[in-house]
Amino acid sequence: MGNRPPAPRRASPWADVLFSALAHGAAWLTLALLAGILLSLMFGAMPAIREYGLSFLWRSEWDPVQNRYGGLVMIYGTLMTSFIALLIAVPVSFGIALFLTELSPLWLKRPLGTAIELLAAVPSIVYGMWGLLVFSPILSQYVQQPLQSVFQGVPFLGQLFSGPPVGIGLLSAGIILAIMVIPFIASVMRDVFEVTPPMLKESAYALGSTTWEVVWSVVLPYTKTGVVGGIMLGLGRAIGETMAVTFVIGNFNQLNSLSLFEAANSITSALANEFGEAAPGLHQASLIYLGLVLFLITFVVLSISKLLLQQLKKREGVIT
């Protein structure tokens, strides 16, 4: 008799059922956690919602002594510092990714890439302490004071760079945030640039294209969805940062001007500074209301990024 092949093992029907249940359970658990966080924030903020409604979003007064609250100063500080961070971080990250993928010599590529990734592992409180003790005095003396002398009396720019040049405020917080998000954006850009097929780039070089022309006409169109995703990742990181911003933003709950040198506040800084000492009642509910606003801002940013990525993929002919 010839050797018979071993009979295939039949998987237990319970294995598929268990696997499917675990997968579905994990998915539903994620949705349940998001819904639970949202409902708990809404429940905790209900006294402030009843008191102020949507007017909380544009009220600038924040006075725990008089028990009157508004979130405009914190919302403005959060959005402005994140905008400054992206304004600085995106071009710098693009330059880093371009150098690592197109221009860097082989002996420098690995150590430089590792150094950039290590920057992402530095605790945010270390960035905050460095920003307050080292960076702020340098910013005050060598950046803020010269900017004031140059733009004094110039419409809009003079107002933007007015205020006390003490090294803390919106500009300082935005720059520190930029330093923190550069490793994330640069790493994503570098990775997506590296997936561009070498044949496409070599063909462009063979036609006489410069490095910039190859990047602009070949690499970016091929990797634009990944680039946008990396930028949105950095934006989400900037919006939610707490400790580094708390050290350098000034924690001032008034909006006296549009100056970038003025001390200000952010949602995360207000929560970190006041929540531990806030008495139950309207003060605590207003802080939770700020947390709810931050949650919704993050949700809106992520939703916009998803829609943008879908539109970019559709233009590339990919059905999503």
- Separation of alpha carbons 175 and 304, rounded Å: 24
User: For residue 99, what is the DSSP state?
Assistant: I
Q: What is the pLDDT of residue 9?
A: 61
Is residue 231 helix, strand or coil? helix
Neighbours of 150 (CB within 10 A): 11
Q: The domain that contains 190 carries what CATH number? A: 1.10.3720.10
**Residue 271 to residue 278: CA distance in whole angstroms:** 10
Kindly state the average pLDDT of the residues 294-308. Answer: 87
Average confidence (pLDDT) over 265-290: 91
In a domain, 296, yes or no: yes
CA atoms within 13 A on the CB side of 225: 16
CA-nearest of 205, 138, 133, 193 to 165 is: 138
In a domain, 134, yes or no: yes
> How many folded domains does the chain comprise?
1
Q: Tell me the one-letter amino acid at 177.
A: L
90 CB neighbour count, 10 Å cutoff: 21
Give the tens place of pLDDT for each residue, 220-277.
888 888 888 889 889 988 998 889 999 999 888 888 888 899 899 999 999 999 988 8
For 214, what's the count of Cα atoms within 13 Å in the CB-facing half-sphere? Answer: 21
- Residue 181 domain-assigned (yes or no): yes
Q: Average pLDDT of 90-119?
A: 88
The answer to whether position 227 is within a domain reads: yes
Tell me the three state secondary structure of residue 9.
Answer: coil
**Sequence-ordered alpha helix ranges (H) in 3-45:** 13-44
Q: Is the pLDDT of residue 318 over 60?
A: no
List Cβ neighbours of 97 (8 Å cut-off, separation of 6 or more). 186, 189, 190, 193
Backbone phi, psi, residue 250, to 5°: 100, -25
Assigned domain for 156 exists: yes
Spell out the alpha helix ranges (H) of 134-169: 136-139, 145-151, 157-160
Question: Which structural domain, as residue segments, surrounds residue 102?
Answer: 59-195+221-314
Q: Does a structural domain hold residue 17?
A: no
In-domain check, residue 184 = yes
Give the model's pLDDT for residue 317: 44
On whether residue 272 sits in a domain, the answer given is: yes
- Compute the mean pLDDT over every residue in the chain, rounded to the nearest whole number: 87
Task: List, for residues 163-217, the tens digit of each pLDDT value.
Answer: 888 889 999 999 999 999 999 999 989 888 888 888 888 888 888 888 888 888 8
Q: Out of 10-19, 22-31, 39-48, which region has the weakest mean confidence (pLDDT)?
A: 10-19
Supply 133's token pair.
Answer: 């003790």
Residue 24 CB: number of other CB atoms within 10 A?
10
Q: What mean pLDDT comes out for the span 102-107?
A: 84
C-beta separation of 232 from 93 below 8 A: no
